[in-house]
Structure 1
């Protein structure tokens, strides 16, 4: 839905490559930054990854912002978060995925056209970027801490889910490099010239399945020892009627397929380090 820029490559976050649509920004960037700083400084709990069900009226405030970029709903969102005891972590881990899913469903059902859906996703991405910057989350991870390469396969157009996962990992002390649709030479260069402890592959739907297989094959051909590879993203839910997670991981060549970041980190041997960072 959100198209990667041609030649997009590895950076600290996907928005460095034109992922965020600013055509209707209207100078709201300062308001987004202020909202993010306020939420993170005042409502952060420093808890592990949150799970739960979003409250519909609070979710609607996030969706109202995504509708046209109006920042007024963000003031109401902050007030409701404070009044109801909703943590900054919950907004990232529960409300953003719910908003992404709602917009995606409305597009699939024909209630939104591609432009409307793309703009709403772009506005959410801009807000998520500001929340991530406010967290200054990479600072909690020391130079010897876990490092993950989060790669999106060729043909992948959805980046918000990967950004949520990156935010979650950074919050608990894992350094994350996001790599969009890497070509063979770029992928090899990144993996051989940097220390990574695992590769997470994020794909949104079955159309990227073949690309995931090819991406993992490229990784396995490199002299990286037993570097763990984990598959995640919306593709898991989309293929759940066709195969279970273990069969999907085997098909792709990954060590594990899961949408749970905590489980993914644990299978890579990061659980103790992540708990220490919490």
Structure 2
């Protein structure tokens, strides 16, 4: 008398072992894929976790998320330099494809800003030589809507030992007056839209007219475009999305001026 096998036909023990090995291999392969470091230097599994945390959580606690990200063995430097900017880019991409509305993207950006603040507070500044500390002004031009990128740059500069001020949505006249009064060593413009380039060009021109020597003028951000064309169009000294580049440029400028 035969009986139905609810689990299918009986297999040879060696066959089951092969199936289990294949399944285990597939699981390991998937896990390894998730651990792969992408072109930005981020592990995808950690980046995905951060994006979910800022999008889906009802009660968002920046301190708790920061602690949870530590389970991925991420330094706070990596969060500031890589993971928070990449998560912000992901939110922007979701908005561009209409998978998230503007309100949800704004909430996510604010949460990333809170996480940035928590991470930055825990980092000691590099004040090895307080006599040569550099003063920086980070500018989000008038009518620009972004702020997270400028905050990331400010945190990076402070970590490098700079004294940093941030100007958000001030008029060209206000920015020029601030530069003339504060005399920063470097001014960094954060640019997200092509429309802001003309405003930046006019501001750069006025700063150069009022200062001798003028501070180091740099341009970065989502629309900076690492090209000589952008640098020449706006009149800045360099175009970069790396804070260290600007600090290095300003340090060399100071040494050159001091040797005269």
User: In 2, are the aligned partners of 1:146 and 1:270 still within 8 Å (CA)?
Assistant: no
What's 2:245 paired with? 263
Runs of 4+ in 1 over 6 A off after TM superposition: 138-141
CA distance in 1, matches of 2:62, 2:123: 21
* Unaligned residue ranges in structure 1 (runs of 5+): 1-50, 238-243, 274-278
Aligned to 2:198: 210
Question: 1:95 — aligned with what?
Answer: 83
Larger Rg: 2
1:151 aligns with 2:139: yes
CA distance in 2, matches of 1:136, 1:269: 21
Indicate the SS of the match to 1:206. coil
| Alpha carbons 1:153, 1:208 under 8 Å: kept | yes
Distance 1:252 1:271, change over 3 A: closer
TM-score by length of 1: 0.69
Measured after TM superposition, the shift of residue 236 of structure 1 is 2.2
Aligned counterpart in structure 2 of residue 168 of structure 1, from 149, 156, 163: 156
Deviation at 1:79, TM superposition (A): 4.7
Q: Compute the displacement of 1:204 (Å).
A: 1.2
Query: Which residue in 2 is equivalent to 1:38?
Result: none
Q: How does 1:110-259 map to 2 (within 5 A)?
A: 110-135=98-123, 137=125, 142=130, 144-237=132-225, 245-259=227-241
Aligned to 1:106: 94
- Structure 2, unaligned stretches of length 5 or more? 1-38, 256-260
**Using a 3 Å threshold, how does the CA distance of structure 1 residues 181 and 72 change in structure 2: closer, same or farther?**
closer
Question: Contact between 2:54 and 2:60, CA under 8 Å: does it hold in 1?
Answer: no
**1:268 alignment partner, SS class:** helix
Cα-Cα RMSD:
2.8
Deviation per residue, 1:90-125 (Å, 9 max, x gap): 111110111011001110111111111111111111
Kindly tell me the number of residue pairs found equivalent between the two proteins. 216
TM-score using structure 2 length: 0.73
Match of 2:42, SS state, is coil
Q: Greater relative contact order (Cα 8 A, min sep 6): structure 1 or 2?
A: 1
Quick one: which of 78, 86, 97 aligns to 2:67? Answer: 78
